[in-house]
Amino acid sequence: MLTLTGAPATLADSLIRAARTAINVIELSTHDGMHPWVGATDVAPIVFLDESERGAACAQALTLADRLGTELELPVFLYGILTAGAVTRADIRRGGWGTLRARIDSGELTPDFGPRRLHPRGGAVLVAARPPLVAFNVELAPPADLRTAKRVASLIRDGELEGLPTLRAIGLQLPHRGGIAQVSMNLEDHMAVSLAQVVAAITRYARPLRAELVGLAPRAAFDGFPEDLPVANLQFIEDALAA
């Protein structure tokens, strides 16, 4: 995950350069990642920290979407508040690159900007304006396996037992980590659900071994977080902006 900060007028230029670089250096035909993905840039949200910035963020996101489509010839799909909540990121990425290609070809999905076909190297890109999202992974102690991770993810994601809104979760197994099982999550509203609540929910079904933050998070997301659970790559948005 790459995080760029700057004044609204400069963000689109920086993101266009980043997307162009991604197209040049990432070869999707040989990519074998475990997470769902639809493009080299994949997702390019404009993040606002305060509700008063929502309008400016939406305007900048639409400018970015138009430029990605016209300058880089990437098919661009809007999601989240830019679609009044009617389309989610998961809706578009469901099934990944191959499924998206088939959905575009069949007419089931039409890009909001850019060509009506996947870019041969860059695929597609999803654009939104949103508050900070916390990308957070929890590794489970052995003997937890892939089946355990998927079950835990389902229990906390679907809310049938936990009732945790705004949480996306999938269960994975990491070959490069010796086959350790992991619950990989996106927390879309850390004010509605804290990471401490998420960890407490996971603990009811499996023992967390360690956690990992992907990208930056608001400091408030870690309020009440258990001190005995180590977190890799812990970086706060506030510190990055201050620096």
42-64 per-position pLDDT tens digit? 999 999 988 899 999 999 999 99
> Which residues, listed in sequence order, are joined to residue 180 by a DSSP beta bridge?
174
Number of domains in the chain: 2
Task: Note whether 224 and 112 are same-domain residues.
Answer: no
Task: Note whether 18 and 119 are same-domain residues.
Answer: yes
117, pLDDT greater than 90: yes
Q: What is the pLDDT of residues 187-233, one digit of tens each?
A: 988 888 899 999 999 999 999 999 999 989 999 999 999 999 999 99
Domain residues for 95? 8-130
What is the pTM for the complete model shown? Answer: 0.82
In sequence order, the 6+-apart residues with CB closer than 8 A to the CB of 62 are 82
Confidence of residue 34 (pLDDT cuts 50, 70, 90): low
Distance in angstroms (rounded) separating the CA atoms of residues 159 and 153: 10
Distance in angstroms (rounded) separating the CA atoms of residues 63 and 53: 16
Residue at which a domain ends, from 89, 114, 130: 130
Distance in angstroms (rounded) separating the CA atoms of residues 149 and 164: 17
Q: Looking at residue 160, what is its pLDDT?
A: 64
138 within some domain: yes
Task: Note whether 99 and 181 are same-domain residues.
Answer: no
In sequence order, the 6+-apart residues with CB closer than 8 A to the CB of 133 are 45, 47, 186, 187, 188
